[in-house]
Amino acid sequence: MKKHLATLLTASLVTLLAPALGQAGDAIITGERFSFSMLPRWTHSGVWAPDGKRLLLVDAISSRVRLYDPEGQYQGNLKDESTGQDYSNIVKVHGVDTNSFWAEDEDGRFILLDQQYKILQTRDIQPLAKGADGDLRGIYQWVPSGSDFLLFGDIRKGDSATSAFLTVPLDNPQKFKTLGTMGIDDPSRRFYLLGSPYLASVKGRPYVIVMSESPYILTPDGDKIYFVQIGPEGKSHPINRPALPTQKGLNASRLVFQSIQESTLPVGIYGWHDYLYVLMRTPLSQGRTQWSLLKVDPSAKKAIQTRTIDSTADHMTVVPGEKYWAFIEKGLVEAPGQQTIRSFLRVPSVNVEQ
């Protein structure tokens, strides 16, 4: 397979890209900031309701999906308002279209819900995903991709286990395809277990951020789109993946996320309409963070726009939507499940996607 290397420009190049973006103010993604009337906790997954009138955030500590209006006012829990449901607590959600969205429950089932949060269909993928490459034994990340699901999980064949990126047909899970593998002990594997979304789909085609020593986007054609940054001397350098601490105990989570906070690296990829959007973080002085959103043309395999986000939050989760995008502003990780989430930046979709 022919390999083609392309380059993504990171947040450090915003000033160089600014002339191509028009007025200087166009380079900043800004909007209205709202406080949550009831604070969500430990959330890495969210979706706008199909009608755009509610923001749904998974609260992993309470095993609930919290519902908020577009100004952050708490509206109750998804499970309390669903009818005719046949699933356990939701652990992750992903938008599909203007009429429905997918959710994963804590039993590993996938449920398609409509605007009234009623079940349209369910899929129990893991027990059925037994193919030539092995049996699917765990799912850590997923995103709908046309009639398939794009997954990151563990597969076992005989006495051998490995982690892998997979495309799994919803109607025929045993015919899954392996896009790439990594060892269970590979240092990059840990990044897929921390909540940052590294899988995306555009027009039913799968894209993956591979967290190798020099992270890159893997395209459906097998091409690699590398991330680089410009140093003070004006030369470009590949972005290097940080080495995450390996300590055990109560401080382990805090040290891991502190290492991420001190690094320049991609921490999310989102497929939206015809483009990919990559969330980048760059450390600033006094422990602050500069956030940027890269707009990537997947057909051209290059970034066409880089814009800073009006936030210096410690950590962030992005929720795209047809009417609004929400940039969830998260605080420091103090311990497993302990992170203050007070506010979000609400930006009209037309202002993000312009």
Q: What is the pLDDT of residues 257-314, one digit of tens each?
A: 999 999 999 999 999 999 999 999 999 988 889 999 999 999 888 888 999 999 999 9
C-alpha distances in Å from residue 226, one per residue of 5, 240, 297: 7, 11, 14
CB 297 within 8 Å of CB 275? yes
Amino acid at the residue 301: K
**pLDDT at residue 5, as a whole number:** 28
Backbone φ and ψ for 47, nearest 5 degrees, come out as -155, 145
Which pLDDT score is estimated for 177? 96
pLDDT band at 248 (very low <50, low <70, confident <90, very high): confident
Domain residue spans of the chain: 1-39+244-354
Confidence of residue 15 (pLDDT cuts 50, 70, 90): very low
Mean residue pLDDT across the chain: 87
Give the per-residue pLDDT at 86.
67
pLDDT of residue 4: 29
Q: Is the pLDDT of residue 50 over 80?
A: no
- Asked whether the whole model's pTM tops 0.95, one would answer no
Burial class (CB in 10 A: 0-12, 13-18, 19+), 41: middle
Q: Which pLDDT does position 78 carry in this prediction?
A: 83
Tens of pLDDT, residues 61-103? 887 899 999 999 999 988 655 555 667 788 899 987 778 999 9
Using the predicted structure, report yes or no on whether residue 20 has a pLDDT greater than 50: no
Best CA proximity match to 43, nearest among 348, 338, 347: 338
Q: How far is CA 336 from CA 14, 42, 93, 339, in A?
A: 34, 9, 21, 8
pLDDT in tens, 122-155: 999 999 999 999 999 999 999 999 999 999 999 9
Tokens standing for residue 139:
């799912």
- b/e burial code for range 232-267 (CB count within 10 A of at least 16 → b): eeeeeeebebbebeeeeeeeebbebbbebbebbbbb
Contacts of 313 (CB under 8 A, 6+ apart): 289, 291, 329, 330, 331
C-alpha dihedral sign at 94, 266, 329, 334: positive
The whole-number pLDDT of residue 85 equals 62
Cα distances from 305 to residues 9, 15, 22, 35, 206, in angstroms, run: 9, 11, 11, 29, 21
